[in-house]
Amino acid sequence: MRPPILRRLFRRVASVTVCSLLAVLAAQPVATAAPTAAAAGLQQVTGFGSNPGNLQMFAYTPDGLPAGAPLVVALHGCTQTAGAYYANSGWPAYADLWGFDVVFPQTTSANNPLSCFGWFDPAEDTRGRGEAASVVQMVEYAKRTYGTDGRRVYVTGLSAGGGMTADLLAAYPDVFAGGSVASGLPAQCATSQAGASGCQTGPQKLSPSQWGDKVRGSYPGWTGPWPRVAIWQGTSDYTVHPANATALRDQWTDVWGIGQTPSSTSGLPGNTTRSVYEDASGRPAVETFTVSGMGHGLPVDPGSGAGQCGSTAAYFLDTICSTYHTGVFWGLDGDTPGGGDALPAPSGLKVSGVTASTASLTWDAVGNAVSYAVHRDGTKVGSPTSASFTDTGLSAGTAYRYTVAAVDSSGATGTLSPAVTATTAGGTAPAACFSATNYAHVAAGRAHTAGGYVYANGSGQTMGLYNVFVTHTLRESPAGYFVVADSNCQAGSS
Same domain, 173 and 305: yes
pLDDT of residue 430: 56
pLDDT confidence of 181, banded at 50, 70, 90? very high
CA distance 84 to 113: 18
CA-wise closest residue to 53 among 110, 2, 114:
2
Q: Where are the beta strands (DSSP E) in 284-378?
A: 284-291, 298-300, 316-318, 350-354, 359-362, 371-376
Give the tens place of pLDDT for each residue, 433-445.
Answer: 888 888 888 888 8
Judge if 248 and 120 occupy the same domain. Answer: yes
Give me the percent of the chain exceeding a pLDDT of 70.
Answer: 86
Considering the domain architecture, whether residues 377 and 283 belong to the same structural domain is answered as: no
Amino acid at 93: A
**Which residue in 382, 333, 389, 342 sits closest to 366, CA to CA?**
342
Same-domain pairing of 14 and 121 = yes
pLDDT confidence bin for 484, thresholds 50/70/90: confident
Q: Are residues 313 and 388 in the same domain?
A: no
140 and 275, same structural domain?
yes
**Any domain includes 241:** yes
d(CA 167, CA 186): 8
Torsion angles phi and psi, residue 406, rounded to 5: -85, 150
Indicate the burial class of 341 (C-beta count within 10 angstroms; 0-12, 13-18, 19 or more): exposed
The catalytically annotated residue of 50, 115, 134, 159 is 159
Is the residue at 340 inside a domain?
A: no
Please count the structural domains in the chain.
3
- Identify any residues that bridge with 483 across adjacent strands, giving them in sequence order: 475
| Alpha-carbon span 469 to 5, nearest angstrom | 12
Domain of 203, CATH number, reads: 3.40.50.1820
Q: What are phi and psi of 170, to 5 degrees?
A: -75, -45
pLDDT at 45: 97
Among 402, 423, 444, residue at a domain's last position: 423
- State yes or no: pLDDT of 204 exceeds 80: yes
**Does residue 36 surpass a pLDDT of 80?**
no
The pLDDT value given to residue 32: 31
The pLDDT value recorded for residue 29 is 31
Residues 322 and 371 in one domain: no
Share of the chain above pLDDT 90, in %: 58
Per-residue confidence (pLDDT) for residue 50, from 0 to 100: 97
Residues 439 and 419 occupy one common structural domain: no
Closest among 158, 168, 257, 174 to 208, alpha carbons compared: 257
- Write the Ramachandran bin of 340: left for phi over 0, alpha for psi from -120 to 50, otherwise beta: left
Secondary structure (3-state) at 302: coil
Phi, psi of 147 (to 5 degrees): 75, 30
Task: Say what the pLDDT of residue 87 is.
Answer: 96
The whole domain housing 452 covers 432-484
CA-closest candidate to residue 22, choices 210, 188, 237, 317: 237
Give the Cα separation of 328 and 349 in Å (integer). Answer: 29
pLDDT at 222: 93
Active site residue 159: yes
Based on the fold, state whether residues 319 and 370 are members of the same structural domain: no
Asked if residue 494 is part of any domain, the answer here is no
- Segment 189-204 mean pLDDT: 88
**pTM of the predicted protein model:** 0.64
Higher pLDDT among residues 293 and 494, named by residue: 293
Residue 106 to residue 83: CA distance in whole angstroms: 9
* Torsion 476-479-225-216 (CA) sign: positive
**Does the CA dihedral 79-82-88-89 come out positive or negative?**
positive
**pLDDT for the residue numbered 461:** 85
Domain-located, residue 337: no
pLDDT at position 320 over 60: yes
Per-residue pLDDT band at 129 (split at 50, 70, 90): very high
**Residue 43 C-alpha from the chain's centroid:** 19
Tell me which of 93-107, 197-211, 234-248 is least confident: 197-211
* 63 and 93 co-located in one domain: yes
Other C-beta atoms within 10 Å of 417: how many? 26
Q: Is the pLDDT of residue 455 over 70?
A: yes
Average pLDDT of every residue of the chain: 85
* pLDDT for residue 35: 28
Last residue of a domain, one of 376, 391, 423: 423
One domain for residues 42 and 182: yes
CATH label of the domain that carries residue 377: 2.60.40.10
**Residues 261 and 357 grouped into a single domain:** no
Least reliable range by pLDDT among 100-114, 117-131, 376-390: 376-390
The answer to whether position 344 is within a domain reads no
Is 491 part of any domain?
no
Q: Report if residue 493 sits inside a domain.
A: no
Average pLDDT over residues 35-51: 74
- Asked if 19 and 127 touch (Cβ cutoff 8 Å), the reply is no
What order of strands is seen across the sheet that includes strand 359-362? 350-354, 359-362, 388-391
- Residue 343 forms part of a structural domain: no
Mean pLDDT of 466-484: 80
Q: Is the pLDDT of residue 493 over 60?
A: no
In the predicted structure, residue 335 carries a pLDDT above the cut 60: no
pLDDT at 92: 95
Across 55-64, average pLDDT? 95
How large is the average pLDDT for residues 287-293? Answer: 97
Count of helix runs (H) and strand runs (E) in the chain? 11, 25
Contact of 248 with 186, CB cutoff 8 Å: yes
Question: 3-state SS of 97-165?
Answer: HHCCEEEEEECCCCCCCCCCCCCCCHHHHCCCCHHHHHHHHHHHHHHHHHCCCCCCEEEEEECHHHHHH
- Residue 31 pLDDT greater than 50, yes or no: no
Task: Calculate the CA dihedral of residues 169, 171, 177, 179 and round it to 10 degrees.
Answer: -10
Q: Rounded CA gap, 421 and 319, in Å? A: 45
Spell 227-247 as b/e; 16+ CB within 10 A means b: bbbbbbbbeebebbbbbbbbb
Domain boundary among 423, 442, 465: 423
